[in-house]
Structure 1
Amino acid sequence: MAIEFNRILTLLRKERGITQKQAAQDLGISQAQLSHYEKGIRECSLAFVVQVADYYGVSCDYLLGRSAERSGQTIRVDELPDTGSSTSGSVYRGSVLPTMYKKLIANSLDILYDKLQESGDKQLVTQVSRYLMLAVYKMFRRLHDASPKNVAGMFRVGAARWQGGADAAMRLTEAELAAILNGEDGNRDCLDPATMALSTERLTRDYPRHATSLLNLVKNAEEAMRGLQQAE
């Protein structure tokens, strides 16, 4: 509980824009005690979890990291908005799981590209798109190469070079993205800070139909990263 609770407890306070002192006063505890909870030094009682959930207007499941939704809602594939393609729907080729993941990714990309459009930066759009295309290329190429019956003529880059080439291109693209966002090419002032304001509260408000997908994508991605950390 501690890892997720202390992170989300701190996040909610900062998103509301209040000091630790103010939050502690409202919750009826000392600032030192709240600081310990936010840092994960001390475990709180279940009663305090409920109190915090009421204070910030979220569910206990969200506070404990059991749900990516502030309401604690459990995601269902038929509740996610369709992506609009010919393969949209509650079931993709007889299976719910591919449809679920497809919707999570497609709906998250809708938010991503909406923010990119707000930025008005063509270089940023180009580099983000290049990175995503390379990621899709790598997955498709792996699936293609898994079957010896597939002919190699579909690709111009040979089997010995494609993986290293794709990895290098992705790293270069990430470097270009970092340079753009850090203003190294003289465009530091072209990105409106408001465009990059991405709190869970704002995302839920601005994208009521798609935020569920993005928040669950983030949760799934971080669970995968934690799995790697635990395996080391």
Structure 2
Amino acid sequence: MIIINLQLRTLRRKRGQTIKQVSDALGGTVSADLLSKYERGEREAGYQVLISLADYYRVSVDEILGHDPKPANTLGQKIRELRLAQNLSMEEFIERIDGKPGKGRSGTVNNWEKGKNRPNKMRLKRIAQIAGVEPDEFLKGGDSSQ
């Protein structure tokens, strides 16, 4: 299942919009501050807000909730979705995880995303922190055999 905050961020970024632009497009019914909190996973959007956002993005509420017919069901797919939602290159992503320059290390992330190998426990913990969830939650619903 797609993490709701990441899905909201991905939908907004696909349109190339800022949080303020989305808030304005919704007629100010949802403040930019509140939208930001939804995207960071600090607040949960109520059903009426989800309906408004789904209408605005022209998707179903189910898709925002992660009930997409093509959910990310592998760890690699989840890592890729998280990286893209954060608008990070593979090198920037590994740098954020390891806290040291990622230059020349994009192959590590590429291998995770393709399911060729998986991050060690320390890196998985950092990836989950970036996603704003517990490591077990990040693995939930996916193929943990990767």
TM-score, with length taken from structure 1? 0.30
If the length of structure 2 is used for normalisation, what is the TM-score? 0.47
Greater helix content: 1
Give the number of the structure with larger relative contact order, counting CA–CA contacts within 8 Å between residues 6 or more apart: 2
Structure whose alpha-carbon radius of gyration is higher: 1
